Amino acid sequence: MTIVDMLRDNARRYPNEVALVEVNPERRERRHITWRDYDLVETTDDEPFRREMTWQVFDEKANRFANLLLSRGVRKDDKVAILLYNCIEWLPLYFGVLKSGATVVPLNFRYSAHEIEYCIDKADVNILVFGPEFIGRVEEIVDRVQAGRLLFYVGDDCPTWAESYRELASLCSSADPQIPLREDEDAAIYFSSGTTGFPKAILHHHQSLTQAAEMEQVHHQQTHDDVFLCIPPLYHTGACMHWLGSLLTGSRGVLLRGVSPRTVLETVSNERCTIVWLLVPWAQDILVALEQGTVRLKDYHLDQWRLMHIGAQPVPASLIRRWRAVFPNHAYDTNYGLSESMGPGCVHLGMENLDHVGAIGVPGYRWECRLVDESGAEVAPGEVGELCVRGPGLMECYYKDPQATAETLVDGWLHTGDMARQDEDGFYWIVDRKKDVIIMGGENLYPVEIENYLMGHPAIHDVAVIGLPDERVGEIAAAVIELKEGAELDVEGVETFCRGLPRYKRPRKIIFAPVPRNPTGKIEKPALRAKYGAEGLVARESGQ
């Protein structure tokens, strides 16, 4: 059964039940943009900031787009890219591509015009579907990308150089085209984060999507009565693959556009959400807002919220201890994964393993793990090695990049680039990214360990530890520290706090500055290294 079959099944079993809800509270502040710019499906005047769609309408919209693609000659092996902010039409378009037999290519909505052009060329995209927010960027490259490609615009006031998806799809049949699909056929190309240069195109078969749906349901025990709140961008495997658990169970998904402590709690309350996936900064922001009294739990209905889980980056144990103190009845899970493993879940903590908070967990449903050294040999128990994973959600390859594929997929194992250790109970603990390890005077320093320690300071909101060149010892650890709003902390205070660390692990430079993160919550360390390694530091070198 493919995920397309799951959608068909839900449309048959739950035709009039709500499948998707879009909540857009931040529209109140976007006065320069009219509601019609975002009016991608029918809405009513009395609910301008909330729209919903039933399973039957979801399926019909996917069918209409599939039939539109087929009418334009799209066939298997063709590629259709989606460049949209999260909206209620995103998933029907995604499924429409799959129903046509083509391969779907979600694009990062933060891409520049140059990056959009690179990605659609890299993935051999035949059709680009884009929204009103991207008119300027697409127009910059339209002369080059339009040749041999179709451009479908989702919104009002279609540019003259594109075609209106809304008008064209309305003329197409809502009947299912019933294109046969196999699990071993191409389904999706996702792009890596691209923090080390241009992103890689990651090709997955339908089996990867089916595995993600089944795994999500097994890990988080979703039922038809659950309501999943999705905040991260749908172009990323983390958000979309977690939502697939809702698809498998025919349960409701809520898309929240924009994020703040108030809007998250308000949406959980109003939509009766039971499962919420957060990134570390968002969870941190909620706790800070509660501590400062800018939001109050008593103002919301949260009794139904049963699970909070986090992924996309290492999670400080101190954060989860604070969360559990505020929300003692929440189940909790950490989800580890990569786009190459079709998103989160190849390793997960497990809701029953709160005694191992801080670990990424054990192999996920139908996954295997091992740790290896530079030669590919498994390391001894307790030693640090590169984490490798193997399972049915593994990518087929890096599209059109056999060299990178051979370097990453070795004998059926995906080399993740993450350094980890396994404890005596079988739980894996991320030590750091292989490329982020700092070598100071022959000693390996793992920034994540130092970051987790610093996050225990009550004045620190976020922190990134990077390696900077040093003539004497090769590299030193520098801590970029972002303070909580209104908090005060100086270099001496950080140095005093760090006395709890072994001397060689203490940061040698302290920098008070914002910590940049990408849309999936990962710290943009290459940007920090480039900034502070190249332009010099306005910071004090510690005498530790």
What pTM was computed for the model? 0.81
Task: Note whether residue 43 is domain-resident.
Answer: yes
Give the model confidence (pLDDT) of 474-513 as tens digits.
Answer: 678 899 999 988 889 999 999 999 988 878 788 999 999 9
Point out the domain boundary residue: 210, 241, 272: 241
Task: Note whether residue 201 is domain-resident.
Answer: yes
- Nearest Cα neighbor of 66 from 42, 94, 88, 44 is 94
Residue owning tokens 């449309």: 11
What is the mean predicted confidence (pLDDT) over 337-358? 90
What is the mean predicted confidence (pLDDT) over 32-54? 50
Rounded to whole angstroms, the Cα distance separating 362 from 335 reads: 10
Give the model confidence (pLDDT) of 244-274 as tens digits.
Answer: 999 999 999 999 987 889 999 999 999 999 9
Task: Note whether residue 69 is domain-resident.
Answer: yes
pLDDT score of 70 more than 90: yes
Q: How far is CA 478 from the centre of its chain?
A: 27
Structural domain count, the chain: 2
In whole angstroms, how far apart are CA 522 and each of 309, 404, 516? 16, 22, 8
Angle at 187 between CA 391 and CA 14, to 5 degrees: 95
Are 449 and 432 spatial neighbours (Cβ–Cβ below 8 Å)? Answer: yes
Amino acid 434: pLDDT:
64
- Nearest Cα neighbor of 201 from 275, 121, 277 is 121
Three-state secondary structure call for residue 217: helix
Q: How many CA atoms lie within 13 A of 10 on its CB side?
A: 28
- Nearest Cα neighbor of 269 from 290, 254, 247, 279 is 254
Q: Give the H/E segment covering residue 118.
A: helix 113-122
Point out the domain boundary residue: 206, 241, 276: 241
Task: Note whether residue 282 is domain-resident.
Answer: no
Task: Note whether residue 431 is domain-resident.
Answer: no
Amino acid 37: pLDDT:
31
Amino acid 193: pLDDT:
66
Q: How many CA atoms lie within 13 A of 431 on its CB side?
A: 20
Residue owning tokens 């706090």: 497
Band of residue 29 on the pLDDT scale cut at 50, 70, 90: very low
Q: Which of 27-31, 33-37, 121-125, 255-259 has the lowest mean pLDDT?
A: 33-37
Rounded to whole angstroms, the Cα distance separating 234 from 230 reads: 8
Find the domain containing 105 and state its range: 3-241
DSSP assigned state of 379: P
The end-to-end CA distance of the chain, in Å, is 60
Rounded to whole angstroms, the Cα distance separating 409 from 477 reads: 31
Task: Note whether residue 474 is domain-resident.
Answer: yes
Q: 30: domain CATH number?
A: 3.40.50.12780
Task: Note whether residue 341 is domain-resident.
Answer: no
Angle at 538 between CA 475 and CA 319, to 5 degrees: 70
Q: Where are the beta strands (DSSP E) in 349-458?
A: 362-363, 368-372, 385-390, 397-398, 409-410, 413-422, 428-433, 438-440, 443-445
Rounded to whole angstroms, the Cα distance separating 292 from 30 reads: 26
What is the mean predicted confidence (pLDDT) over 180-208? 87
Residue 424: CB atoms within 10 Å: 7
Q: Which residues pair with 511 in a beta bridge?
A: 480
Are 7 and 247 spatial neighbours (Cβ–Cβ below 8 Å)? Answer: yes
Are 41 and 89 spatial neighbours (Cβ–Cβ below 8 Å)? Answer: yes
Point out the domain boundary residue: 185, 210, 241: 241
What is the mean predicted confidence (pLDDT) over 303-322? 85
Three-state secondary structure call for residue 114: helix
In whole angstroms, how far apart are CA 491 and each of 118, 134, 497, 541? 43, 43, 10, 9
Q: 527: domain CATH number?
A: 3.30.300.30
Structure tokens at 230: 């999705």
Task: Note whether residue 423 is domain-resident.
Answer: no
Rounded to whole angstroms, the Cα distance separating 308 from 448 reads: 22
- Nearest Cα neighbor of 127 from 169, 72, 175, 168 is 72
